[in-house]
Amino acid sequence: MSTTGKLVTMRQAVADHVPDGCTIAIEGFTAFICFAAAHEIIRQRKRDLVLCRLTPDLIYDQMIAAGVAAKLVFSYLGNPGVGSLHCIRRAVEHGVPRPLAIEEYSHFGMVGRYMAGAANLPFFPLRSYLGSDMPAANDQIRFVDSPYGDGSIAVVPPLKPDVAFVHAQRADVHGNTHLWGLLGTQKEVAFASKKVVVVVEEIVDEEVIRRDPNRTLIPGLIVDAVVCEPYGAHPSYVQGYYDRDNDFYLKWDEWSRDQAATEAWLEEWVYALPDRAAYLDKLGRETLDRLEPGKLEADPVNYGRYG
């Protein structure tokens, strides 16, 4: 595989890898949520996407309000620490701006689906769903008898998205990616997906990666494109780079209350802007300074030279 030419703009990555109707995963559990990718997908007016994510969060609330999605696969539908996701509720309850199909799991079920997808297994067994109404609401959650005589166990099918956007701290130009903090399902979704776009705060020399190989969560081998997008996860956060913009999460509750207000926000912050750099300019230095996390460094470790 060629390792040159993976470094592209977000515009290029979305144009190349997100056809209408595809199944897409932009994961990251509270952290590393790649809003930069979502906004570019909205700007390019993609349609009929199947959106996969444990916690749809504001990112899918925005995408669904913009009308890019036909279906949502998820396990927790809320604005974490705040309340409801109003846009998704509008789509589910009233078909606004478009009807939205849903397919619902628990967190462990979604994690298991990515695990099965990543490891090329026919299903993933987990000790969940017993006695719950969730299997009745979603016939993809099933039970099988253990061939070793331990009774019945729940299984979920593999999930293999057409494309995943995986945000992280840093990568080299080949897509070898360092990530630390809440790992979420970033590794599993990357290995499960047919194509992977890595989005990072900074591009580093290959030697930086090789000096700390235990931190390489995703190898360039499975990466199709690399995008450098500082603050690309705002208003979520990147461990050690910036804090979560909790004010934004609180205000979104207000901005998203009705479709017209949401569309006005999308017009101002997404459609009217050419790219992420313009978004950061508009956001302003003061906000970014407010999110500065300070320093708490790990001690260096010695890998040894061995030759």
46 contacts 21 by C-beta, under 8 angstroms: no
> Contacting other proteins (CB under 8 A), which of 95, 120, 137, 264?
137
Closer Cβ to other proteins, 149 or 304, answer by number:
149
Task: Determine, following the binding rule CB under 8 A, whether residue 131 of this chain makes contact with other proteins.
Answer: yes
Task: Determine, following the binding rule CB under 8 A, whether residue 93 of this chain makes contact with other proteins.
Answer: yes
Closer Cβ to other proteins, 105 or 165, answer by number:
105
Task: Determine, following the binding rule CB under 8 A, whether residue 30 of this chain makes contact with other proteins.
Answer: yes
> Contacting other proteins (CB under 8 A), which of 20, 45, 145, 152?
152
Task: Determine, following the binding rule CB under 8 A, whether residue 243 of this chain makes contact with other proteins.
Answer: yes
Nearest to 59 by CA among 195, 169, 160, 199: 199
Task: Determine, following the binding rule CB under 8 A, whether residue 142 of this chain makes contact with other proteins.
Answer: no
Give the list of residues 6+ apart from residue 222 with CB closer than 8 angstroms, or none.
175, 190, 191, 196
Task: Pull the structure tokens for residue 273.
Answer: 């802007």
Task: Determine, following the binding rule CB under 8 A, whether residue 75 of this chain makes contact with other proteins.
Answer: yes
> Contacting other proteins (CB under 8 A), which of 101, 130, 272, 278?
130
Task: Determine, following the binding rule CB under 8 A, whether residue 119 of this chain makes contact with other proteins.
Answer: no
Task: Pull the structure tokens for residue 221.
Answer: 């081998």
Total count of residues recorded for the chain: 307
> Contacting other proteins (CB under 8 A), which of 36, 41, 96, 111?
111
Task: Determine, following the binding rule CB under 8 A, whether residue 29 of this chain makes contact with other proteins.
Answer: yes
Task: Determine, following the binding rule CB under 8 A, whether residue 231 of this chain makes contact with other proteins.
Answer: no
> Contacting other proteins (CB under 8 A), which of 187, 195, 234, 276?
187
Task: Determine, following the binding rule CB under 8 A, whether residue 31 of this chain makes contact with other proteins.
Answer: yes
> Contacting other proteins (CB under 8 A), which of 21, 94, 120, 182?
182
Task: Determine, following the binding rule CB under 8 A, whether residue 81 of this chain makes contact with other proteins.
Answer: yes
Task: Determine, following the binding rule CB under 8 A, whether residue 115 of this chain makes contact with other proteins.
Answer: yes
Closest distance to other proteins from the beta carbon of 110 (Å): 9
List contacts with other proteins (CB under 8 A).
Answer: 29-31, 54-55, 74-78, 80-81, 89, 92-93, 104-108, 111, 114-115, 126-134, 137, 150-152, 180-185, 187-188, 237, 239, 243-244, 246, 249, 293, 296
